[in-house]
Amino acid sequence: MTDRSGSRIDHLNIAVPDLAVAVAFYDAVLSSIGITKVLEIPADPGGARPAMTGYGWPDRKPYFWLVDEGKVGTNMHLAFTVDTREEVRVFHDAALAAGATEREAPAVRPEYHEDYYGGFVDDPHGINLEAVCHHPG
């Protein structure tokens, strides 16, 4: 039997118009919650594949990819789960320091559930990012 208790998404690609700008931002922000750059793939010389940078937990496969030469979709939102409310604040502060625009400061969001604690920013390309903790304070 397959354990279905965890996420079933293996990886996610996000198209960005400027990979260098995105990588500089995400290197700073994701490192604040322990996620690191795992792999960089150069563009295919024939133009079949743009350059890509993958992030994940240290010594593991990447699960979050930034893909160069793309167009950001409308209403793009990505949330990173963290273990503590302090980590939400650290992520939010790191994002603002790296050039993000604030959407919503870290706070309890009871409209989702009573322990939902999240903070929202827009990255340099307008992607709505969030760090969220689902545990009580």
Query: Which of 108, 53, 57 shows the shortest CA–CA distance to 80?
Result: 57
In the chain, the number of structural domains is 1
* 92 DSSP assignment: H
CA distance 134 to 118: 9
> What percent of the chain lies above the pLDDT cut of 70?
95
Q: Is residue 46 part of a domain?
A: yes
Q: Is residue 58 part of a domain?
A: yes
Q: Is residue 4 part of a domain?
A: no
Q: Is residue 79 part of a domain?
A: yes
Q: Is residue 123 part of a domain?
A: yes
Could you tell me the pLDDT band of residue 6, with boundaries at 50, 70 and 90?
A: low
Between CA 125 and CA 34, with CA 39 as vertex, the angle to 5 degrees is: 75
CA distance 6 to 67: 26
- Residue 23 domain boundaries: 12-133
Q: What type of residue sits at position 22?
A: A
Q: Is residue 66 part of a domain?
A: yes
Question: Residue 112 pLDDT > 90, yes or no?
Answer: yes
Higher pLDDT, 1 or 120: 120
pLDDT for 1 equals 45
Q: Any idea what the CATH number is for the domain that residue 61 is in? A: 3.10.180.10
Question: Residue 125 pLDDT > 90, yes or no?
Answer: yes
For residue range 23-45, list pLDDT tens digits in order. 999 999 999 999 999 999 999 98
For residue range 52-86, list pLDDT tens digits in order. 999 998 888 999 999 998 998 889 999 999 999 99
pTM over 0.85: yes
CA distance 104 to 49: 35
Q: Is residue 1 part of a domain?
A: no
The residue-averaged pLDDT of 120-128 equals 97
Q: Is residue 2 part of a domain?
A: no
Q: In 5-136, which residue ranges form alpha helices assigned H by DSSP? A: 19-31, 85-97
